[in-house]
A and B are shown apart, each in its own frame.
Chain A
Amino acid sequence: MGESLWDLVLRSFLPLVGGAITGTIPLALISFALGLVIALGVALMRLSKVRVVSGIARGYVSIIRGTPLLVQLFVVFYGLPSIGVLVDPWPSAIVAFSLNVGGYAAEVIRAAILSVPRGQWEAAYTIRMSPAQTLGRVILPQAARVSVPPLSNTFISLVKDTSLASLILVTELFRQTQEIAAFSQEFMVIYIEAAFIYWVICVVLSAGQSALERRLDRHVAT
């Protein structure tokens, strides 16, 4: 064992980054995209005047926020097979993460929609836009600006939470880390290396958030 720790760091770097590129990042991106679609639907349901509809949405948000993400993952991956629904690790993870993001982001989107002044709805209606056009062309673009910071938080949390998928056998950054650590027995170094890679991803995302905010701020006078 003439190998230094530094060599180990370098040699494990590519496999770890590989785990991030083939596991963590696509898992986070796909789940976030699907989660946003769910969230928009749930937010609109929450805003519905029909009691039953808003009640269902409220219940959904309550369950998602009131139970641990790890438990949600286990329900999908280990729980569903016992009632005959067998799902592979990847789809299980995507289902659980999307539903989770859907619950959290729904509240963000709902609040953002409510933050757009009522006069904007009225102006759109008086130029005879339909409710769907009003939402898509007038309300959501303005709500987007408000929701970028909190949704960025949600996304950054999700990137880190994908490490939980290692527990349902998805090969992503953290599972790679555990394997290399167990093999090399250099736990401290390898886990810190993994932490560093997560951190770099999140720094890049924060920069992306700032750029997006600047872009959406174009129309706001200084």
Chain B
Amino acid sequence: MSPREQPLLGVRGLHKRFGQVEVLKGIDLDIDRGQVVALIGPSGSGKTTVLRCLNGLEVPDAGVLTFEGADAVDFAKRPPRAAVAGLREHSAMVFQHYNLFPHRTVLENVIEGPVRVQKRARADATADALALLERVGLADKRDAFPAELSGGQQQRVGIVRALALKPRLLLFDEPTSALDPELVGDVLAAIRELAAEGWTMLLVTHELRFARDVADHVVFMDGGVVVEAGPPSEVLVAPRQERTRQFLHRLLDH
């Protein structure tokens, strides 16, 4: 296989156990460059845990993660902390509850990573940050504190904070679940725009219609395994598995 055909991220046999509960029972997943993958499934299916493992927030018990151009990290062999931290170099995360730093302004939230961690010049990072804020319509909020913003605005800042790191993979953990219904649209529009620009994204979401519109690939998880995966026109419209059908029915009934 030539490097060009290699996926951006390869996940093989991901296992995770919390005490007695086996949350992930061997997940395989490939994400290609520029692909938008939606991870769906009932709560407790393990989809958020997958995301957290990819960003090093949870350490899997077993499994191999391979980012293109980087050494494979095999968790069965208890990789060193540096290798786990190294995984974060490739991705950036957008949280369900935004998790902005409340004691810092919008701009400070966005440039914290680029300036403090990536050691970029402040003026440079600020210019980039303002351009990104401009695009999500929040340039005028640069000096506001998070508590002064609506949930939808905070989440858009959360997205910009992730983008500012220039990650190769964007991870979204139910980015609209904590929002009032009327605020969801702005956040989805921002994500849709990123997809159109060719960002590689993995989204855990309950927004099935959005997943159908935006995702190239849909992965349905239940009980810690991948039940079905494929293009949205198959998985979301004409699922082959009974469990997928039941899940879609339950969600669409509401």
Contacts and interface: CB of A to CB of B under 8 A. Distances in A.
Interface of A: 117, 119-120, 122-129, 133, 137-138, 141-142, 145, 218-221
Contact of A220 (B56, B95, B102): B102
A138 B93 CA distance: 17
Contacts of A117: 99
A128 B147 contact: no
Contacts of A125: 56-57, 88
A123 B88 CA distance: 12
A120 B93 contact: no
A138 B100 CA distance: 10
7 tightest A-B contacts by CB? A127-B113, A221-B147, A123-B99, A219-B145, A119-B99, A126-B93, A128-B117
Contact of A127 (B57, B97, B102, B117): B117
Contacts, number: 65
A127 B158 CA distance: 11
Contacts of B113: 127-129
Contacts of A221: 145, 147-148
B250 interface: no
Given A123-B93, A129-B117, A138-B101, 18 more contacts: A117-B99, A119-B97, A119-B99, A120-B101, A122-B99, A125-B56, A125-B57, A125-B88, A126-B55, A126-B92, A126-B93, A128-B85, A128-B113, A128-B165, A137-B116, A141-B103, A219-B102, A220-B145
Contact of A142 (B99, B102, B148, B162): B102
B89 interface: yes
Contacts of B55: 126
Interface string B143-185: 0011110000000000001100100000000000000000000
Contact of A119 (B95, B103, B162): B95
Nearest to A144: B103
Nearest to A120: B99
B112 interface: yes
Given A128-B165, A221-B147, A123 B95 contact: yes
Interface residues of B, number: 28
A123 B101 contact: yes
A46 B95 CA distance: 29
Contacts of B95: 119, 122-123
Interface string B37-78: 000000000000000000111000000000000000000000
B99 A133 contact: no
Contacts of B112: 127, 129, 137
A200 B161 CA distance: 48
A122 B88 CA distance: 11
Contact of B116 (A122, A129, A145, A219): A129
Given A137-B116, A141-B103, A142-B103, A127 B147 contact: no
Nearest to B86: A128
Contacts of B148: 221
A217 to B, nearest CB: 10
7 contacts: A123-B100, A126-B57, A126-B162, A128-B118, A133-B117, A137-B112, A142-B102
